[in-house]
Amino acid sequence: MRISLVTPAFNSARTIRDTLLSIQAQDYPDIEHIIVDGVSKDNTLDIISEFPHVSRLISEPDRGLYDAMNKGLRLASGDVVGIINSDDFYTGPHVIRKVAEKMNETGADALYADLEYVGVSNINRVVRTWKAGHFTPRYFYQGWMPPHPTFFVRRELYDRYGLFNPDFRFSADYELMLRFLLRHNIPVCYLPEVIVRMRVGGASNASIFNRLRANREDRLAWKINGLRPHFYTLYLKPLSKVGQYWSGIKEKGGDLP
């Protein structure tokens, strides 16, 4: 099983080395790493050039994060594709091997796992733990979604059900997982361990305005897939992060970040 990893990047010099090191360290023998850069103005490209494991690099203007992801997906040749952003990194050298073993064992078309949010400058400081849990369709109606950086999908599913919707600025990952997991009910498995660490500060949570726009896009995601959420579903979605935050504190001995 060949696994393609797609990394969208733009002015990522401060963080992308951690991403690249975590992929370079993987002990799985068949990894294709594709980086889609939006014409960075810092030394992102210089850092990437230090890593010979990178299979393909393109640097050209794009329409944003999800357009860059789509470019990478179109280039991917692997049986399974995962997306790892330029400020995320894998937690150890066995992550991709475990993903491949679990998907082979279960025959699932997709896999997801757990994720930790860490400090921007101190990546050893866990701010929030995202324990996804085993999938059941009703969870989507309770505001649930799996952590997208841990989401691996057989490439043929993108051919069958489509790529990310670039008209979404904040919620294209939510819409895609809603489309795949709930609308089309693809077979999915859960790997119950933290495989990705992500720095805090996602675009959808950067301001109240962004959060409101993300909420509108979440509603549209249900509508365009012909699905109807409960009246409380999209209010529970951001509230679920509070529980993740306190879970992270508890696991680290009760110390506030």
Per-residue pLDDT tens over the stretch 138-193 = 999 999 999 999 999 999 999 999 999 989 999 999 999 999 999 999 999 999 99
**Average pLDDT estimate for 190-209:** 76
3-9 and 31-37 as β-strands: parallel, antiparallel, unpaired?
parallel
pLDDT given for residue 206 in this prediction: 46
Q: Which residues contact 246 (CB under 8 A, 6 or more apart)?
A: none
pLDDT given for residue 245 in this prediction: 43
pLDDT given for residue 13 in this prediction: 98
**What confidence category does residue 250 fall into, taking pLDDT thresholds of 50, 70 and 90?**
very low
pLDDT given for residue 210 in this prediction: 65
Tell me the angle at which helices 233-251 and 208-224 cross, rounded to the nearest 10 degrees: 120
In contact, 71 and 36? CB cutoff 8 Å: yes
pLDDT given for residue 221 in this prediction: 96
**What confidence category does residue 239 fall into, taking pLDDT thresholds of 50, 70 and 90?**
low
**Average pLDDT estimate for 8-18:** 97
pLDDT given for residue 241 in this prediction: 53
Which DSSP helix (H) or strand (E) runs through 162?
none
Least confident range of 7-16, 80-89, 118-127, 152-161: 118-127
> Domains in the chain and their CATH numbers?
3-251 (3.90.550.10)
